[in-house]
Amino acid sequence: MSYNAPIKDMLFVMNELANIDAVSALPGCEDATRETAEAVLEENAKFVSGVIAPLNHAGDKEPSFWHDGQVTTTKGFKEAFRQFADAGWQGLQHPQDFGGQGLPKLIGTPCVEMLHGANLSFALVALLSDGAIEALMTAGSDEQKATFLEPLVTGKWTGTMNLTEPQAGSDLAAVRTRAEPQGDGTYKIFGTKIFITYGEHDMAENIVHLVLARTPDAPPGVKGISLFIVPKFMVNADGTLGARNDVHCVSIEHKLGIKASPTAVLQFGDHGGAIGTLVGEENRGLEYMFIMMNAARFGVGMQGIGLAENAYQKAVAFAKERVQSRDLAGSAGPVTIIHHPDVRRMLMSMRAQTEAARALAYVGAGIHDIAHHHADEETRAANQAIYEYLVPVIKGWSTEMSENVARDGVQVHGGMGFIEETGAAQHYRDAKILTIYEGTTAIQANDLVGRKTLRDGGKVAKHLIAQVRATATQLGELDGADFAAIQGRLEQGAADLEAVVDFVLANAKSDVKAVFAGSVPYLKLAGVVLGGWQMGRAAVIAQQKLAGGDGDQAFFQAKIATARFFADHILAQSTALRASIVDGHAGVLALPEEMF
């Protein structure tokens, strides 16, 4: 089960679409040059292909297992994580002060994509640590930072996010876990948390649980939630490990996919109370957790893109090898199935959606870097607003498309795809979690409607739509049927997205349910149009390169063809999505509950 990082496309996107030159011009990002990026990506690609990818199928066949409170991960995971950490990959995007490499998100993002593309189950442990690091960087005390950050950044320890409880899935207002102050600055934590990714494992010597809980006088609802650090082993003043804390894994789940990644039920305080320390201020836990979640949501979007790339590569390899039936245009004998038009259609669809989602995500990463590092405050704020608009789209749309891509990947394999040994089915199973965890697609879509569209009166959305139109205009200036076709679809897509944004703005107060009935289609529409925008930009640049005789001509021709496919097959859906939002809310809400 091999995986080859698509470095050529990654570098094209970073250099040409996500504007790495602007990022390396930022204060503190001077090292993030094209040359550094290329060297980092190549090194990372070698590592994930050689060490991490070979463990992917093994993890599915021999999942991590629980026995008597301990979780034994799939054979090889522990050693691979040590190599990963020792080579500095966990710390790639984290500050040099705490043992990281301090590279910007734009360079970190392709590395994250590769890791997830190679092995989703393995990569999750790193993704959760990244989230814990972000939260502690933002809200941790100096002492907490000194104690926990370096071991997390260097992969000596790992981190977790503890939100969900049995009675409270996505609804954090319902969190019941208690935190009782002990008068010495510590708290005793009591409660049950479920769905805790890597909540218990044997790949690091300590696990830093970040846990949402309520103090005794906390107000009800989400405003009464605080965030605590509850390490698996207490940490002594000198950084060595102390007593085992009272947090225990009572079981792990039997899941559809990502089987090597242990999903734990954690019991806090069954033996007297788990010792925790408060992060930041009381009752601001949700706010801190959102820091973790926003980082993790972007990361889950990258999971979708990485998985889609891997599913595409597997399908291409099969389609080039499997011989079956004659060519429709005539052939002496049977041909490889990549000659059959519908196989070609599925491969193009997989490829086009993956490339579009990658481009949008990397562009988002570049915007994130400007928002964090630019010298000018106003520029930072403007870019932060755009980044925040993009996060639910990158998470929601990239993962929804990855389900479709994984599905097509099985389909290209025909009957062999349904046999587990082939490996295509694992992608189909693994993909299904991505639209659920770190906030379902509906939760991303509600965020897009509420915080990201209504709150600023559609300002960011309209700003992006104007940029889509500018790209359409550029396409209109080029000769050729491909550019005209992409231009037309892009203009229609911009009009559809604008109509939906206007619908959302006009009706949110008078008919909130009608607006939210279309929230997921709105998210998909935003993904399709903004992804199509990146493909349109890519086509313009590819044409400039071709005209200039620059570089890899076949690559640029393929990019234009892929953009054309995206326009006619994916972007063409924009008007139907608009209809399902603007006209379709009546049908969503008409049936009384008892008629279901």
β partners of residue 265: 251
DSSP string of 310-337, one letter each residue: HHHHHHHHHHHH-EEEE-TT--SSEEEG
- Cβ of residue 186: shortest distance to a copy of itself, in angstroms? 31
- CA separation for the pair 487, 539 (Å, rounded): 10
116 binds a copy of itself (CB under 8 A): no
Q: Is 316 in the site for a copy of itself (CB under 8 A)?
A: yes
Residue (of 556, 538, 561, 572) closest to 357 by Cα position: 538
**Which CB atom, from 2 or from 96, has the smaller least distance to a copy of itself?**
2
Residue 121 makes contact with a copy of itself by CB under 8 A? no
**Least separation in angstroms between CB 582 and a copy of itself:** 9
Asked if 403 is part of the footprint of a copy of itself (rule: CB under 8 A), the reply reads: yes
Minimum distance of a copy of itself from residue 341's CB (angstroms): 4
Rounded to 10°, the helix 120-139/285-321 angle is 160
- From candidates 340, 358, 374, 524, binder to a copy of itself by CB under 8 A: 340
Cβ-contact 322, 415 below 8 angstroms:
no
Write out the DSSP string of 106-128.
HHHHHHHHHHHHH-HHHHHHHHH
Catalytic residue among 400, 403, 438, 498: 438
DSSP three-state, residue 455: coil
Instruction: Give the residue with the Cβ less far from a copy of itself, 149 or 225.
Output: 225
Q: Specify whether the CB–CB gap between 581 and 521 falls below 8 A.
A: yes
β-strand pairing of 186-197 with 274-279? antiparallel
Q: Is 4 near a copy of itself (CB under 8 A)?
A: no
DSSP for residue 55: G
Q: Catalytic site residue 403?
A: no
* Residue 409 contacts residue 311 (beta carbons within 8 Å): yes
- How many other C-beta atoms lie within 10 A of the C-beta of residue 296? 25
Least distance in angstroms from the C-beta of 479 to a copy of itself: 16
8 A C-beta contact, residue 113 and residue 40: no
- The answer to whether 354 contacts a copy of itself (rule: CB under 8 A) is no
Q: How many residues bind a copy of itself (CB under 8 A)?
A: 100
Binding range to a copy of itself, per CB under 8 A, among 28-36, 45-53, 300-308, 560-568: 560-568
β partners of residue 212: 227
- Residue 147, token pair as written in the block: 């104690």
- What residues numbered 253-312 form the site for a copy of itself, per CB under 8 A? 253-257
Binders in 143-182 for a copy of itself, by CB under 8 A: 164, 168-171, 173-174
Q: Is residue 320 part of the contact set for a copy of itself (CB under 8 A)?
A: yes
Q: Taking CB under 8 A as the criterion, which residues in 226-255 touch a copy of itself?
A: 253-255
Give the nearer residue to a copy of itself in terms of CB position, either 350 or 468.
350
Site membership for a copy of itself, residue 506 (CB under 8 A) = no
Burial of 404 (0-12, 13-18, 19+ CB in 10 A): middle
- Taking CB under 8 A as the criterion, the residue among 77, 503, 516, 533 binding a copy of itself is 516
The answer to whether 583 contacts a copy of itself (rule: CB under 8 A) is yes
Cβ 533 to a copy of itself, closest distance in Å? 17
CB 253 within 8 A of CB 195: yes
- When asked if residue 512 is in the footprint of a copy of itself (CB under 8 A), the reply is yes
Please give the residues from 404 up to 443 whose contact with a copy of itself meets the rule CB under 8 A. Answer: 407, 410-411, 414-421, 425, 428-429, 432-433, 435-437, 440-442
Catalytic residue numbers read 438
